[in-house]
Amino acid sequence: MKKTIFAVCISMVLAFSSVIALAQQAYVPEEEKFVSAKESVSLISYGEYGMAIKKLKLEKMYDEASLKKFIDKECREIYMGSVQTEVSVAWPEENMWKIAVPFEAPEDEAVGALVFVIAEGQFTEILFLRWGDVVESYEEADQAIWNVEYMPNYVIVEDW
């Protein structure tokens, strides 16, 4: 009897784990997440840190000063001119998704990109990566979703 109860409990735990794993795999960032990430890159490039934090709903993670300090330390090139807001790519990594928005046409692996981490459907963190690292990450993933895929002959409209 105890073995039967134990076997039933184990089966239920395994079934529940499978349902959770499928639910996590089923999530794919919706268009709104891509738009918010791209708009935030533009806002940050203009020094509008508070607006970017609000757009991403990251008030618990960052205040204006901490986001500015991060950007100034990691990716000052975001301030060097207009940023592109067309191309972005998302990929799953562990139990989260990442959306990368390069600052300019990603023609070189040295191009900077802000990477927006999404867990449980919400933005949770902002990272900075070089495009070469972004490519390496999404190529290792099971899938990659381009909001607008970069094509070398494709004209990218930059934010003015």
Instruction: Dig out the tokens for 147 from the structure.
Output: 């909001």
* CA nearest to 130, candidates 105, 115, 111, 117: 111
Q: Quick one: pLDDT at residue 9?
A: 44
CB 159 within 8 A of CB 83: yes
Q: Is the pTM of this model over 0.85?
A: no
Helices (H), 57-147: 64-74, 131-140
Question: For 84-126, what is each residue's pLDDT tens digit?
Answer: 999 999 999 999 999 999 999 999 999 999 999 999 999 999 9
Question: For 44-87, what is each residue's pLDDT tens digit?
Answer: 999 999 999 999 999 999 999 999 999 999 999 999 888 999 99
Q: Quick one: pLDDT at residue 148?
A: 72
Confidence label for 147 from pLDDT (cuts 50, 70 and 90) = confident
For residue 135, is pLDDT > 80? yes
Q: Find the mean pLDDT for residues 16-28.
A: 55
